Amino acid sequence: MRRTGPAALAFAILAAAAPAAADGMPDDFVRLSEAAPTVRQDIRYFGADNFTGAPVPGYEAPQCVLTRPAAAALAKVQTELADKGYELIVFDCYRPEKAVAAFMDWSRSDNPGKPYFYPGIEKSAIIPDGYVAERSGHSRGSTVDLGIVRLDRDTDTFPPRAQRCDESSMSSLGLEMGTDFDCFSPRSATATEEVSEDAQANRKVLLDAMTDAGFVNYPKEWWHYTLGNEPYPDRYFDFDVE
């Protein structure tokens, strides 16, 4: 629920200030490794394993950074999933605006990146089709891309991937999810029936856990969630992930 009246004005003033710590990260942001150290991290934009085919500007470390409320909510999800034999793995969290600008530059360039991530559509359709935004909610600090794995799965021993993301089941992470992360395909839509029943069931496990903790899913991407009552709904940040 959005704040109204004098309290809203006071909150807006505090949000606009967003005091920064010595390393450039605002004081009300936190590394997930501190807030929820058991959550697994596979930060794709730190390396070349992403649709651009290269490390993305602004990612100086393979760290998930979030606002404190989002990190606390994610810690709650991790605890609840553990009781069911699962745990979270995050692929992207806070995203600097310079990274979003790099995505836009890539979309206008001749660099094909990795067609594995968009095998069924033209590169020129990625932005119009809503898979990459010209201004990303990730830059507000309360959006996260993630999946779930089994507690007993060793994610250091992944088998080879499929030839294209919409044929990759994510079973290498211990669960059938229907597509890989960042797969620009209709099969990535959270509620699609184009994936297996197992994948639909596993997506629902993630959806229910995240919804219960106050997150809202982006319907085109089963992995994409934003904290419903995010502290900075109108502010975008550009400090580096370190």
Q: Which of 80, 87, 221, 230 is catalytic?
A: 221
Question: Is 97 an active-site residue?
Answer: no
3-state secondary structure of 91: strand
Q: How far apart are CA 231 and CA 13, in angstroms?
A: 12
Exposed, middle or buried by CB within 10 Å (0-12, 13-18, 19+), for 171?
A: middle
Please tell me what DSSP assigns to residue 77: H
Q: Which residues contact 49 (CB under 8 A, 6 or more apart)?
A: none
Helix, strand, coil shares, percent, the chain, to 5 = 35, 15, 50
- Tokens, residue 131: 């898979």
Catalytic site residues?
Answer: 221
